[in-house]
Structure 1
């Protein structure tokens, strides 16, 4: 009896081992497909404006016919290893999980360039695009910019594709009729109508660089990356987000203005990244304690709280206390108006800045400069290239100025000092600092050589 039980046990274990080996080496892993919602966190979607007339007197059919053929369905597949259970470990079953996300895109050239949202393509291992005629193509990612949520992809078709040209979103007016075209809930070629509810909307609430067009045209998950057009079919925005407690449309939708999207696309094609033009001023945010105590909340415009050294604004003559009222022909009422317009410019562009200074209006031509600051995470500080004034003051020809430090370095009072050397390697500019700091071993002793306000060299161990 004991021999029988022993033989039975050995047979069962042998069978299990054989099955495990087969599963591990001969049988392909199970693929689990699940739908992934790519909607962002806040729900997580020469120009003449369209006539402001009643809906029944407006013909939407021409714009709809022109747009639906240029809006595509984007599918994002991201394959990853599924977490292994004890059963999978025992049987050697290595499973793969394929997450599938969908959104929209807008063809902007006949040779297949398509603009969409960054969150639509984020993390993709495979991208495909389906046209309105049901033809499907594999897409290549050209580049993306998470800060504006814009991405550029491309397909190679055997014929010229229908496309939309960028319109001038600065000329769009509140109350103007618009159409939102996309693929909500995988329903292809869906057209909804509404009006522009507001411009220069900032959803972050933190005075960041957001500046959306708000519309009440129905936009739902899947519309992201689709087109916002006026009644002539001019592309004035890329649908990006909605605000909702349920995750579906309740009357508020937001689009990246076409002027910003166009500039991002051009930068990605020409430079491979986004070139941001810097005005060189810091703004006192409204509703802050300082703004309330000093009456800044009551002004129309943005209050200049400081001017960056060696910036275009300083060179042009803008000073602390100026109130920016206009840039070129754009009226500036709030911070999002300012950032929204500047996001459509690049370094080297000249803008006319009109300010109120002590009750008098003055206009300054300001040449936008390139952002030259960089955060050295390994050192816990932000640095920028030194100015000509610093070079003369400290009698040096290289180095970077420390503009901000992490809280744990606050007692060292390093802001405004010049970092000239790390571990014996000289630093000429921000690029040097980036490269040298990237090679630091945080587990070893490192030495920084820093010039204080008097130009005296001080060594810091970290």
Structure 2
């Protein structure tokens, strides 16, 4: 047994000592008998991970039984809307001790009217919301009147490799701060239907209910992910957990700090994952990447020289695995930001700089759906949605029944409040597209059909 333990200790030392200089400096052998331990690193990091408890009220819609509707008459509403109080628990990570900034998941604090942050040492502070991003499930809150706080160093998730050791820290089931360990099982996970924008780190470090918003850290104590979700048949851990990469989180948080909201950049392409068949047809020696089916005329990519048929392999020097990963990375970056795309065209590798456009400027609707040709769209804040600001007589958009001044509030029962929302929901829809339109005080649906 001692021999096995010694071998494990030796192998752990080799793995960590061949990484970066910063990792070598962490004293894994802190015990007097030279047994391996992560305790020194955790003593530095765990004070930055907090427990979050929330209270609030949510609207609950309940269908009125037919018998009651008959009793109240034919004009009785089909649904009853009530407010019900709720309480919730989660985790968060202090990223700026001086300003009291804490990153967590949006679903942890969504609809909360009271937010209480509890530190590892037992101190409690009220907190307020700075900004949220529902599409990526990131939220930034601020501790009120916080003092003697400890923050965590943010690492680069783009440097991660499958097999790297990681540690998850959070508040599972309200037990209090808990630490689990594992490895990076996969990178760039998407298509799970957990969030709209998915680019997850997958790990087998145990993550359970209440861990949401907690920290995923490297062995040298750097934050490389925000724990978000698990895949389990009964809500329990089965070794498949997901975290939002720190690079993506940091891009979003910087925008929340500056603007109080996320102002997404837009690349202006349509496409899908690079498949083996496409790679063979284009004679490309690559198995992962994003195939550009269309570079939208006048868009950021088009102006930078991205063409239909290009294959994007990297963003800012970091390889991408899929079109979904490209979309999630770009959507986390702010408008006006310049990124470098690694592109293959006709067998030639090149780098192209693209300055991301804004999703909230007026756009030609035909770039989103051909049935909307002839309409010009702009974001509306009151009510939230996409407004038809101009409409050409006799156009495709006019023929489907749209009118100038209409506001698109949703698509296929999913709310839209930005151009990115509208585009992504329509792109993800096959078959019929049902637009929920507000026209004055009336609400109606218009049906579009996707080509093909």
- Structure 1 length-normalised TM: 0.67
1:105 aligns with 2:92: yes
**Is 1:415 aligned with 2:357?**
no
Task: Provide closer, same or farther for how the CA distance between residues 201 and 48 of structure 1 changes in structure 2, counting only shifts above 3 A.
Answer: farther
Query: Given the alignment, which residue of 34, 44, 64 partners 2:42?
Result: 64
* Corresponding residue for residue 450 of structure 1: 392
Q: CA deviation at 1:194?
A: 0.8
For the residues of structure 1 that align with 2:112 and 2:383, how far apart are their CA atoms? 32
Offset at residue 460 of structure 1 (A): 6.7
Aligned runs of 1:29-48 on 2, under 5 Å? none
Q: Which one of the candidate residues 166, 170, 189 is aligned to 2:158?
A: 170
Distance 1:131 1:435, change over 3 A: closer
Output the aligned Cα RMSD: 4.1
Contact 2:167 2:181 survives alignment (8 Å): yes
Contact 1:284/1:302, CA 8 A, preserved across alignment:
yes
Using the TM superposition, name which of 341-350 and 223-232 deviates more. Answer: 341-350
The equivalent residue for 2:251 is: 263
Distance 1:192 1:303 in 2: 38
What whole-Å deviation, never above 9, does each CA across 1:386-430 have from its counterpart, x for those lacking one? Answer: xxxxxxxxxxxxxx545446xxxxxxx7433145xxxxxxxxx72
Report the counterpart of residue 323 of structure 1 in structure 2.
311
197-206 or 320-329, which deviates more: 197-206
Q: Of 129, 135, 138, which aligns to 1:147?
A: 135
Describe the SS at the equivalent of 1:238. strand
- Give the corresponding residue for 2:204: 216
CA contact (8 A) 2:374 2:391 kept: no
The alignment partner of 2:112 has SS state of coil
1:113 CA drift (Å): 1.3
CA contact (8 A) 1:77 1:101 kept: yes
Distance 1:280 1:156 in 2: 40
The answer to whether structure 1 residue 274 and structure 2 residue 252 are counterparts is no
Q: 1:193 aligns with which of 181, 184, 187?
A: 181
Q: Does 1:228 align with 2:216?
A: yes
What is the CA-CA distance between 1:114 and the residue it aligns to?
A: 0.8
Instruction: Quote the residue 1:252 is aligned against.
Output: 240
Gaps of 5+ in 1: 1-46, 84-94, 374-383, 386-399, 406-412, 420-428, 441-445
Aligned position for 1:76: 54
Secondary structure, in 3 states, of the residue corresponding to 1:181?
strand
Please list the CA deviations of residues 226-272 of structure 1 after superposition, one character each: whole Å capped at 9, or x if unmatched: 11111111111110011011211111111111111112111111111
Q: Is this contact kept in 2: 1:275–1:370, CA < 8 A?
A: yes
Separation in 1 of the partners of 2:152 and 2:307?
Answer: 42
**Equivalent residues of 1:106, 1:227 under 8 A apart:** yes
Task: Please give the alpha-carbon distance, in whole angstroms, between the structure 2 residues aligned to 1:255 and 1:244.
Answer: 15
SS at match of 1:247: coil
Alignment of 1:279-294 (within 5 A): 279-285=267-273
1:62 shift after superposition? 2.2
For the residue of structure 2 that corresponds to 1:164, the secondary structure is coil
Specify the alignment match of 2:230 in structure 1: 242
Q: What is the distance in 2 between the residues matched to 1:99 and 1:436?
A: 27
The answer (yes or no) to whether the contact 1:300–1:334 under 8 Å persists in 2 is yes
Q: How many residues align?
A: 358
Closer, same or farther: CA 173–339 of 1 in aligned 2, 3 Å: same
Aligned residue for 1:115, secondary structure, equals: strand
CA shift in 2, pair 1:361/1:205, >3 Å: farther
Q: Counting strand residues as a fraction of each chain, which structure ranks higher? A: 2
2:311 matches 1:333: no
Whole-angstrom distance in 2 between the partners of 1:329 and 1:439: 35
1:369 equivalent in structure 2? 357
Equivalent in the alignment of 1:388: none
Report 1 or 2 for greater relative contact order, CA contacts < 8 Å, sequence distance ≥ 6.
Answer: 1
| 8 A contact 2:50–2:170 mirrored in 1 | yes
CA separation of 1:57 and 1:323: change in aligned 2, threshold 3 A:
farther
CA–CA distance in 2 between the matches of 1:279 and 1:57? 51
What is the rounded CA distance, in whole Å, between the counterparts of 1:242 and 1:112 in structure 2? 28
